[in-house]
Amino acid sequence: MSQYSGYHGDSLEFLEKNQIAVGDFVDILSDKVYSGIIMPRFEHNDDKHIVIKLKNGYNIGLEIEKVERIEKSIVPDKIIKRNESVNQNKELPNILLLSTGGTIASKIDYRTGAVTPILTAEELNSSVPELSKIANIDAKVLFSEYSENIMPKHWLEIAETIEKYSKSEYSGIIIAHGTDTMHYTSAYLSFSLAGFPIPIALVGSQRSSDRASSDAALNLIGAAKFLTECKTNGIYVVMHQDENDKNIACHIGTRVRKNHTSKRGAFQTVGDKPAFLVQNDKIFTNSKTSFFTTKKFDPKIKLNEKVALVKYYPGYEPSMLKNMIDSGYKAVIFEGTGLGHIGENMYSVVKMAHEKGIFMGMTSQCIDGRVRMTVYESGRDLLDLGIIPLENMIPEVALVKSMWATGNTENSGAIKEIMLDKIASEFSV
């Protein structure tokens, strides 16, 4: 990284004149005194401001014309890097932590201000020392991607890695993951690794680890406690239940959505309560549904990306669906209105898709409730055209399941059978 990364023009001249570079700790006198780290900027930003990270973790921009004085300061002791050795405690259970990116298992490089992955158990212990009292953590980085850049190929890599540990001595596996697409990954793992003998927890952080309000450490601690004490198996998303720090919710991997952009309690179980809660160091069963599965572990780590999620809206152009048919798509999941409807202008193309053996499933745009296509005439027409109602399956989960189903078989009858079979709690009562 350049010592002036993203700075140009007047702001670059200002930093060079004052012999300040990205990563330096500074005291700045402007409208008041600010202390923090000079942060890099995006290359297309203006040249009239500098950005510093304050001690509370927030970044602010300061107009250089209003800066009266800037000077380097001493690096605070609390952020000097320390790698404390970790001694394995034979009396504690063992957990594997797989990092895929996001901020949950990351550290701040205070030289550059960059967020980088935690690579070793020593670094993890230094960042979240409470973990060493719960379990012995083995950390492994699979890749480091922003959540939005995680693709189906990454799901395969995660699943193939986890499969290798099906007969290990680990009590559970944590997957550190960015939050935006976490529920897609949890859905794929739920289907491809159904029956996996130990619990798996996907854990994320809504707020980065350098912010005072970060949920990173508490989510990791909650996940570790859950995995070592829950006496269950399956795939879970483990995150804050709400804005306070007392409750960590453990959601079934196929029944969860991110329903808020920034709140710490952004993830919610759809149509039910979270399966478990971690409260004051104790694990509580929170739903009457039984989640432990005795299903024989028979991994099916395949998928087909030629699947589409179509959100119907007034004015949706049927030719867009026709293009999918012509492009060789194997399945289409409709996110229909209400009880499961799309406009009659779609009927002729839907009929064409059915005749070509393309699986078509119906979910609802409503956050809660079930698809019921027998209530109205339009729904019954769509049933006759070959669209299959998918109960209360979450649209994103239906998309992932259809990718998995079409990746494991090309037989249209078998695909329908798989989609209607309850494999990993994707339908709820």
46-64: pLDDT as tens digits:
899 999 888 766 788 899 9
Q: What average pLDDT does range 279-308 have in this prediction?
A: 85
Q: Is 112 a catalytic residue?
A: no
The torsion angles phi and psi of 26, rounded to 5 degrees, stand at -135, 155
Which tokens sit at 224? 């570790």
Q: Is 175 helix (H, G, I), strand (E, B) or coil?
A: strand
Are both 160 and 142 inside the same structural domain? yes
Are both 407 and 377 inside the same structural domain? yes
The span from the CA of 345 to the CA of 323, in Å, is: 16
Are both 44 and 15 inside the same structural domain? yes
Query: From the candidates 100, 112, 179, 185, which is the catalytic residue?
Result: 179
Q: How many domains does the chain have?
A: 3
CATH number of domain containing 370: 3.40.50.40
Are both 88 and 16 inside the same structural domain? no
Are both 29 and 54 inside the same structural domain? yes
| Residue 290 falls inside a structural domain | no
Which tokens sit at 35? 């202390």
The span from the CA of 398 to the CA of 311, in Å, is: 13
Query: From the candidates 47, 180, 322, 381, which is the catalytic residue?
Result: 180
Are both 154 and 29 inside the same structural domain? no
CATH number of domain containing 183: 3.40.50.1170
Q: Which residue has the higher pLDDT, 334 or 117?
A: 334
Per-residue pLDDT tens over the stretch 134-174: 999 998 889 888 889 999 999 999 999 999 999 999 999 99
User: pTM (2 decimals)?
Assistant: 0.84
What's the confidence (pLDDT) of residue 411?
95
User: Which residue in the block uniquely carries the two structure tokens 């952004």?
Assistant: 266
Lowest mean pLDDT among 170-184, 194-208, 382-396: 194-208
Do 387 and 334 contact (CB within 8 A), yes or no? yes
| Residue 145 falls inside a structural domain | yes
Are both 128 and 243 inside the same structural domain? yes
Which tokens sit at 375? 């209530």
Query: From the candidates 24, 53, 103, 363, which is the catalytic residue?
Result: 103
| Residue 292 falls inside a structural domain | no
| 32 has a pLDDT exceeding 50 | yes
What's the confidence (pLDDT) of residue 80?
42
| Residue 296 falls inside a structural domain | no
Q: Which residue has the higher pLDDT, 12 or 211?
A: 12
Q: Is 261 a catalytic residue?
A: no
Q: Is 181 a catalytic residue?
A: no
Are both 179 and 263 inside the same structural domain? yes
Among 347, 346, 345, 307, residue whose Cα is nearest residue 327:
307
User: Which residue in the block uniquely carries the two structure tokens 């078989």?
Assistant: 409
Per-residue pLDDT tens over the stretch 62-112: 999 999 999 998 765 444 444 455 678 889 999 999 989 876 655 655 445
Which domain range does residue 49 map to?
A: 9-75
Per-residue pLDDT tens over the stretch 401-414: 999 999 999 999 99
Do 362 and 402 contact (CB within 8 A), yes or no? no
User: Which residue in the block uniquely carries the two structure tokens 């023009």?
Assistant: 9
Query: From the candidates 53, 225, 258, 330, which is the catalytic residue?
Result: 258
Beta strands at 25-29 and 69-72: parallel, antiparallel or unpaired: antiparallel
% of the chain with per-residue pLDDT over 70: 87
DSSP lists the bridge partners of residue 136 as 94
Cβ-in-10-Å burial (0-12, 13-18, 19+) of 341 comes to buried
**CB atoms inside a 10 Å sphere around CB 368:** 10
Are both 330 and 380 inside the same structural domain? yes
| Residue 425 falls inside a structural domain | no
Q: Is 120 a catalytic residue?
A: no
